[in-house]
Amino acid sequence: MNVLLIDDKGGPNLLDTIRCLRDKQQVNIFVLSPDKKAYFNTIPYSRYVKKHLCISPEKEEERVNAIASAISNWYIDAILPVKQETYLFFSKHKSRFGTCLLPPIAEWDILKIVSDKWLLSQWLDKNSFPSPKTYPATLANINLLDLPYLIKPRLDTNGYQVKLFNDNQELIKTIENPDFNSEDFVMQENIDGEDIDISLLAENGNIIAYTIQKGLVREAFSFASGIEFVDDKKLLKQTETIVSKLNWSGIAHLDFIYHKKSDSYHLLDFNPRMWSTLIGSLYAGVNFPMLLLKTAKNEKIEYKGYSKTDFYLAKPALHRFRKELLGKRKLTSLKNSSLNYVIKDPLPEIAKSFEKVISIFKR
């Protein structure tokens, strides 16, 4: 089967999607990337990528034509989007690609709501789902929240990192900066609690498969690089209600925080895309990219649950391994890590390391 992926600028989400698709499977993978001059792309170095092509369309119609051409030239059977921008694109243009198979994709207006933190907060409030208090990041709204609070980009695509503010003067200075566009940001209540996420595949509002995970290793306001897969029936039930209300179709990764005092789960983010610990779900027994392909082909999904295990991305796994060596303990930390998948397909990481060394010398 020939599968086309649209590159997310060489990021780990795409590389992990490729590695999931080729885990014990025979799938021919083809990739379209943006202009190669804009960034260093590790994807062509993967042993699993059969063909790779750079395109640089400036308009949506040009992008449609470039993808249609690749479908014809490479005899593509199915397309799997990776990033949320690509899901929005295919939700809008899916009728333009003939008989090429696509996985379940939510309607464009629903994708726009869940992709935008301000629109999502309004939808959650309207439907009485617990979520942090959220307002547009304007000077007029500063006193609506108690300190400390967060400034977040409305969309995950603008590259701005989440920032915690402990005093109003610092926030005023940020908002008054000419480079700060208030329309692109929200102010959000900082809830003290325990992070817990759920990854899922759904169709017409019904969850087909899922994994639930808690963060073991996490940098401030970033994704977890070490996770523990757990059971949580209450969180699952709340997620089922949200997914049903949205009539959600497709892949998603939802970030919650458990507030112990109120015994409630507050939804922080609804990410309609592949996620950073996707390979961890594979390790736990759920291959989401392959399940997407099966739904695209209308094949029956036999979901058997997932293993309650820990999983670490490469960096924290190596950190734990060093501690084991120094402490002369049993060396087990590399077993449940992404390094097992990197070893099978090492060139992307090797190429990225060389690129970093070259950039250092250039500076």
Q: Which residue has the higher pLDDT, 322 or 310?
A: 310
Is CATH 3.30.470.20 the classification given to domain 194-312?
Answer: yes
pLDDT band at 146 (very low <50, low <70, confident <90, very high): confident
Per-residue pLDDT reduced to its tens digit, 62-91: 999 999 999 999 999 999 999 888 899 999
Residue 333 in this model has a pLDDT that exceeds 80: no
29-43, 119-133, 271-285, 337-351: lowest mean pLDDT where?
Answer: 29-43
Region 312-325 average pLDDT? 79
Where do you find CATH 3.30.1490 in the chain?
133-189
Where do you find CATH 3.30.470.20 in the chain?
194-312
Write the CATH number of the domain with boundaries 2-102. 3.40.50.20
Region 330-337 average pLDDT? 74
Question: What pLDDT was estimated at residue 320?
Answer: 77
Residue 196 in this model has a pLDDT that exceeds 70: yes
Angle of CA points 219, 278, 163, to nearest 5° = 25
Per-residue pLDDT reduced to its tens digit, 199-216: 999 999 999 999 999 988
Region 7-30 average pLDDT? 85
Q: Which residue has the higher pLDDT, 304 or 220?
A: 304
Region 295-315 average pLDDT? 92
User: pTM of the entire structure?
Assistant: 0.91
Write the CATH number of the domain with boundaries 133-189. 3.30.1490
Where do you find CATH 3.40.50.20 in the chain?
2-102
